[in-house]
Amino acid sequence: MTAPRRETLEKLTPVLTKRWLSPEAWRIGVYEQLDGYAALRKALAAHPDDLIQLIKDSGLRGRGGAGFPTGLKWGFIPQTARSARDTEKPHYLVVNADEGEPGTCKDLPLMTHDPHSLIEGVIIASYAIRANRAFIYIRGEAVHAARRLRNAVREAYAKGYLGTNILGSGLDLDVVVHSGAGAYICGEETALLDSLEGFRGQPRLRPPFPATHGLYASPTVVNNVGTIASVPYIVLGGAGWWKSMGTEKSSGPMIYSLSGRIANPGQYECSLGITLRELIELAGGMQPGHNLRFWTPGGSSTPLLTAEHIDVPLDFEGVAAAGSILGTTATQIFSDQDCPVYATYKWLEFYHHESCGKCTPCREGNYWMVGIYRRILSGAGTAQDLDTLLDTCDNILGRSFCGLGDGATSPVTSSVKYFKQDYLDYIEGRKAPRLSGKQLVGAH
């Protein structure tokens, strides 16, 4: 393991992760000592439209995977003068804290170790979009993060940061932390809204979009935890400072979650556009005896990349140009000792399990693909199986209700594209079966 070079270290941009170093930052008193709620005071003195413009100027893009410009999203909310018309629907802010994309692990530590930064962002964003109610939909399994978050909400009410007439500004805001109950699909924003309304978490047909018909068919902004938690820093430091990090079209810092065959897995907040080579250098190199073979740039729903992509800039444009998606910057790193066919099989089991069942291509397609993977990995694969897999992907991709189906095809098509030989080795008997006949029961 070699120490990272200075120029690589300088790609580190501790902004959202900085307070994690203070073990008690989850307490409101400590948070306040560390600049906490200073951005809120500053924001409440500004006009809401100016805050939306500020976020637009910063170039902040959604941190949940799609990278949609946040200021634009906020601007979609109809901003007519609400007081004039009593019948006007209320506006809502919903924070997507349903972190579950395989590989992704950046939001849970943020909510656990710095929950007030999210709440401060929620208050500022609600003020900007004229919402008086905000919901934080947190993944059910994230119990410690939810515990800290609920505590932080309680503390914020006690200090007058939430409730009525916040800091004398006239702003009223109530925040509810709503725990999910174990469904990956609820990370999809319209499924999340259905779940929050007390239904099965199944995606909605769009349009209409949440900006006009979101929660309770009212204008709603749905933002990721990292997006909202970025807001207080932009309010304090300004759009120009924010854009001093990252690239022209992908501004700011981003928390890269490194896992797998590297010496030091963990969270590395870096300037957007850093490369995997540099990230691995920061992480102390590959583990001894492991050579990089394949990796996900942003979770399992983003097509796999290989060792030849080690110098691709990890921003929205750079990864797209390399044929994948930046996603959630969940960088899962696999080596020559890992099998891309088996890895894909486990991901497919995940998509099969998590498919909500609403639309046929995703529900049936993932079911059948899992069966084909079991067959291949147990040594009973046939020459037609690869074609069947790709045909199935063709029938899922773009034909599913939401992105879950699209995402499921990512590991399949990319692994067939880059590692076809690995598939053929199982099919043609050059590689020992990975699954036993027992596990094949039920596969067709």
CB of 168 to other proteins, least distance (A): 19
Region for 138 from its dihedrals, namely left if φ exceeds 0, alpha if ψ lies in -120 to 50, beta otherwise: beta
- Residues 68-107 binding other proteins (CB under 8 A) are 68, 72-73, 75-76, 78-80, 96, 99-105, 107
Go through 198-225 and write b for each residue having 16 or more CB atoms within 10 A of its CB, e for each that does not: eeebbbbeeeebbbebbbeebbbbbbbb
Q: Is 23 in the site for other proteins (CB under 8 A)?
A: yes
Residue span 292-331 as binding mask against other proteins, x where in contact by CB under 8 A, dash where not: -------xxxxx----------------x--xxx-xx-x-
Instruction: Give me 356's structure tokens.
Output: 């909500």
Residue among 33, 164, 165, 216 that touches other proteins (CB under 8 A): 216
CB of 270 to other proteins, least distance (A): 7
Residue among 29, 143, 436, 439 that touches other proteins (CB under 8 A): 143
Q: Is 59 in the site for other proteins (CB under 8 A)?
A: no
Residue among 162, 196, 312, 314 that touches other proteins (CB under 8 A): 196
Residues 6+ apart with CB under 8 A from 89: 216, 217, 218, 219
CB of 429 to other proteins, least distance (A): 23
Residue among 117, 306, 332, 378 that touches other proteins (CB under 8 A): 332
> What three-state secondary structure class fits 408?
helix
Indicate the angle between helix axes 340-354 and 403-427, nearest 10 degrees: 150
* Count of positions on this chain that bind other proteins (CB under 8 A): 163
How far apart (Å, rounded) are the C-alpha atoms in residues 341 and 434?
Answer: 10
Tell me if 174 sits within 8 A of 191, measured CB to CB.
no
Q: Is 183 in the site for other proteins (CB under 8 A)?
A: yes
Strand pairing class (330-335; 253-260):
parallel
Residue span 337-356 as binding mask against other proteins, x where in contact by CB under 8 A, dash where not: -x---xx--xx--x--xx-x
| Span interacting with other proteins, options 161-169, 306-314, 372-380, 393-401, rule CB under 8 A | 393-401
Q: Is 360 in the site for other proteins (CB under 8 A)?
A: no
221 - beta bridge partners?
Answer: 93
Q: Is 29 in the site for other proteins (CB under 8 A)?
A: no
Q: Is 360 exposed, middle or buried (0-12, 13-18, 19+ CB in 10 A)?
A: middle
| Span interacting with other proteins, options 144-152, 164-172, 365-373, 375-383, rule CB under 8 A | 144-152
Residue span 263-282 as binding mask against other proteins, x where in contact by CB under 8 A, dash where not: -xxxxxxx-----------x
CB of 105 to other proteins, least distance (A): 5
Half-sphere exposure of 7 (CA within 13 A, CB side): 2
- Residues 368-387 binding other proteins (CB under 8 A) are none
Is the omega angle on the peptide bond into residue 208 within 30 degrees of 0, that is, cis?
yes
